[in-house]
Every structure is written in C-alpha cells, then in structure tokens.
Amino acid sequence: MSETPGTNVICMKWGTAYTARDVNVLHRMVARHLARPHRFVCFTDDPAGLEPGIEHFPLPDVHVPPRLMNEAWLKLGTYSAPLADLTGTALFLDLDIVIVDSIDCFFEHPGEFCIIHNWTHPDRIVGNSSVYRFRVGELSWVLDRYHEDPERAKETYRNEQAFLSHSLHDAGVDMTYWPAEWCVSFKKHCMPSRLLAPFVTPRKPPGARIIAFHGHPKPDEAIRGEWKGRWKKMRPTPWIAEHWK
C-alpha cells in the first residue's frame, strides 16, 4: 500500500440497534490495540453519550429507501467524496466486533481494498464488511452506481457487501482478503458444536485479532451465556469481557 496522509478508524451508528456505549467500547478497544497515531470517527444520527476523543460527523448522504434503513446499505456512504474532512486511509469497523490483539497490521497489509473473505460462502467473491480498509474518496463511484437505482441494487444483491464486492470485481478493482486467522466469526470459529454448546466454553482461536458477532449472540450476550432462541444454549464466555470494555 502506498503511503498516504491520515490514519483513520471509522464506524457508523444510526437508529436504535446500537447505542453510544457500543461506540465507546469500540473506541477503547481501538485505543488499546492500535499503536500508531490515528483519528477515531463515528458517523451517526445521534452523537449523544459519545466519550471525549471520539470525533463525530453526520451520516453521509445515501439515498436508501425508507424500508431498508435498518439494513447496512448506509455503509456505502463511507465511500463518499468528500468524507467529512478525512484524508488518507480508513479502516471501517462494525460495532458488533471484539478486538483481542493488535490491529496495526490492518494498516500494513498490502492491497488496494482489503476486506474479510465471507465465511459463509468462501467459494464466492463476496467480502464481509465488518472490517474493511480503503483510501478515502477513491471509491465514490461505488456510491454513484448505487444511486443510479437503489431498488434494483436490492433486487439484485442480498445486501450492501454483496453489491460492493460485485461492483469492485466488475470494475477490475483488486479486492484483497485479510489473512483468514485475523478476523473470525464468533459463531463459526469460537462456538463448539450445537450439541456441545451447553457444556463447552467458546474458545479464542489462535491468531485471532478481531472477532465478529454477526446476528446473535452479541458480545454482552456471549459474556452472560445468553443466545436468543428456544433451542440455542451456550456457556458464558468470560474471556470476552477482558476485551469488550
């Protein structure tokens, strides 16, 4: 990756699914695990409760149909040009992740655009957008393409990360996947089998730096051993509490 000014860690919060606490916890985890100087920026519709040290800006303007506002399509706004006053490189982090080791390597890994290789369909070209890195302002055409027909984008692609991945692929943009051990799924890589889940504590995989909690359980639920669903049982996972704070 060529040298560019600016090291930014960014996240987004809108609606009621996540709270200021989630942003504050992510900010603290980044502070503990990113040694290089950086800006921590939250794009949000409600900055109330954010701790000092967290910069905040309004959500980028994305023309998402109202019925889809609870989905992740707003994340395409990170490719806006300009993106607030940011310059250089940005690492986007979802709010439902837990950082367990240094993340400086995410700024050092080579690649034009870096993202998680989606765990559920490794045979496809779809990335998981829980963690991705890009150069600010250089992918504004992705947002422009979405704005051409947001309804068709939804009809054609299941979600924003599928739309993004195929847009990059079709344009010949190099999409680099993070090393598989860096970003893992709590449900896929940490949880024991469904039969053993009530008896065996979830593990922290060797080499993991970021653990993604897509769907349920969320980090606080996993700490308590709560998994929503009548037949879903699990042991409490106390090691998560050592990092998610």
pLDDT at 230: 67
Q: 69 and 130 in contact (C-beta within 8 Å)?
A: no
pLDDT tens, position by position, for the chain (245 residues)? 333 458 999 999 999 999 999 999 999 999 999 999 999 999 999 999 999 999 999 999 999 999 999 999 999 999 999 999 999 999 999 999 999 999 999 999 999 999 999 887 777 889 999 999 999 999 999 999 999 999 999 999 999 999 999 999 999 998 999 999 999 999 999 999 988 999 999 999 999 999 999 889 999 999 999 988 767 889 999 999 999 99
pTM of the model as a whole: 0.95
Rg (CA), the chain: 18
pLDDT at 11: 98
Q: Are 225 and 236 in contact (CB under 8 A)?
A: yes
Q: What is the per-residue pLDDT for 51?
A: 97
SS3 content of the chain, % helix, strand, coil (to 5): 30, 20, 50
- Residue 94's pLDDT is what? 98
Q: What is the pLDDT of residue 232?
A: 81
pLDDT recorded at residue 6: 87
pLDDT of res. 3: 39
Q: Assess contact for 103 and 34: CB atoms under 8 A.
A: yes
